[in-house]
Amino acid sequence: MATAALPEKVSDDSTQCTICFYTFKNPKVLPCLHTFCEHCLREWVQKNGGDTFPCPICRQPVPLPQNGVDGLKDNFFIASLVKAVTAHHKLHHGKDDVICTNCEEGKPATSRCSECAEFLCESCESAHRLVRATRGHTLIIFEELKTGKYDSVFRARKAPPCSKHPEEILKLYCRTCEMPICNECVLVEHRDSQHDLKRIEDVATEKRKTILDLTPQCQARMQFFRQAEEVQKRLKEQLQLNAEGARQNVHKTAQSLIEMVKEESDRLLTCIDTEETSRKKQIDAEIEGAQISLASAKSTCEFAETLAREGDDYEVVSFSQDMAARLNELTKPPADKVDFKLANITIDYSVMGNKLTKNSPKTAQYSLPKATERELCSLLKRAQQSGASSRTGLSLRSPEDNVLGNVSRMVHGEL
């Protein structure tokens, strides 16, 4: 199996979980190829619940296997990279606590086997040189490893065992089923002629070439997304400017209308005050007339009672004719009627309505400048054209159809 030299410095993005920000532990890879610690995904799935959960990075829905997070695919590549980086770091930073990975005695390692990708203690190293199956393997002692000459051995690793036949190594690839298999799988499940079997090394060479051929297309698409991000940021800035302009327009228009309404309301209040004063005078005159009539009737009644009770015969006879006439007059129904409409006040809003209609605010529009729209479209178009040779399948719609056209026709305020 081909291996590459381990870089002097591997990016933290490659070895750290973006949820807990610690080195990966039991990394699981999602269909969108984002990787997270197994325990971090358990907490994430529990928080989001359901048969699917969103990827913590790209939010793509991920179906949850029947056996939960355990059923998600292990990222053996990242796990081996973390293991290699850890060992490389310990070795090149004077750490002497690299333990033998071939036995369980916890002895310090003295060398590493390139073929087995195992650190070996002194006892395991001796046994490795004696056993027929491993005595031809290349053993590199720590002093040589520290020179950096053999950094590639840190990326060397054993082929993983078959999940169905743990004693067998995955050496073949079934193109029909698109899966790595072992020799035992060939005899049991992939033995008929319909299965196209290839050596896993040969298939890996083809797959590696395919991946490397597709990478430039992805890079071209990345350029488009960078430009799209820049365009959206510019749109956001323009949106903020347009929104602020619209707010100022609303405040100015509202203030103008408020002043106009205030002016008309002052006029109407003056009319009400004038009408109230006039009608108060009329009502006060009626009150005064009623008070005079009351006083006259009261004095007449008192005089009549006193005359009838205290006056002698001559006095009664002398005043009887005038008294009777006065009393008869007072017993007649009053000639004046109460005008209840004097309490009514009518407000005529027709003038205010006419002013509002005449000064009704028109629709105000704050749009993305055409020059800016053409500039942003040009940015996206250039990014698209630069990746056209990579067959990204991206397309740029006209300003009338795309998001730029929609945003540019954004804002209007109407009272």
| Confidence tier at 153 by pLDDT (50, 70, 90) | low
pLDDT tens profile 292-304: 888 988 988 988 8
Structural domain contains residue 242: yes
* Sheet with strand 172-174: strands edge to edge: 179-181, 172-174, 197-199
What mean pLDDT comes out for the span 79-99? 69
Structural domain contains residue 31: no
Q: Which comes out higher in pLDDT, residue 114 or 90?
A: 114
CA distance 182 to 159: 11
Checking if the pLDDT of 320 tops 80, the result is: yes
Residue 266's pLDDT is 95
Checking if the pLDDT of 157 tops 50, the result is: yes
pLDDT tens profile 203-228: 989 988 988 888 887 877 888 888 88
Checking if the pLDDT of 124 tops 80, the result is: yes
Residue 131's pLDDT is 85
Domain around 297: 206-408
Rg, the chain, Cα only: 50
Q: How many domains does the chain have?
A: 1
Structural domain contains residue 57: no
Burial of 346 (0-12, 13-18, 19+ CB in 10 A): exposed
Query: Six-digit token pair at 251?
Result: 């405040």
Residue 83's pLDDT is 76
Within its chain, how far is the Cα of 23 from the centroid? 28
CA dist 246 → 42, 243, 256 (Å): 47, 5, 15
156 — alpha (psi -120 to 50), left (phi > 0) or beta? beta
Structural domain contains residue 235: yes
CA distance 30 to 56: 10
DSSP string across 197-255: EEEHHHHHHHHHHHHHHHHHHHHHHHHHHHHHHHHHHHHHHHHHHHHHHHHHHHHHHHH
Query: Six-digit token pair at 80?
Result: 């081996």
pLDDT tens profile 373-412: 888 888 888 877 766 655 444 343 433 344 333 333 333 3
CA dist 55 → 28, 76, 266 (Å): 12, 19, 63
Residue 360's pLDDT is 86
Question: pLDDT above 90 covers what percent of the chain?
Answer: 23
pTM for this predicted structure: 0.52
Kind plus residue range of the DSSP H or E element containing 180? strand 179-181
Structural domain contains residue 92: no
Structural domain contains residue 121: no
> What is residue 52's DSSP assignment?
E
Residue 55's pLDDT is 92
Residue 395's pLDDT is 41
Structural domain contains residue 292: yes
| Confidence tier at 309 by pLDDT (50, 70, 90) | confident
Structural domain contains residue 76: no
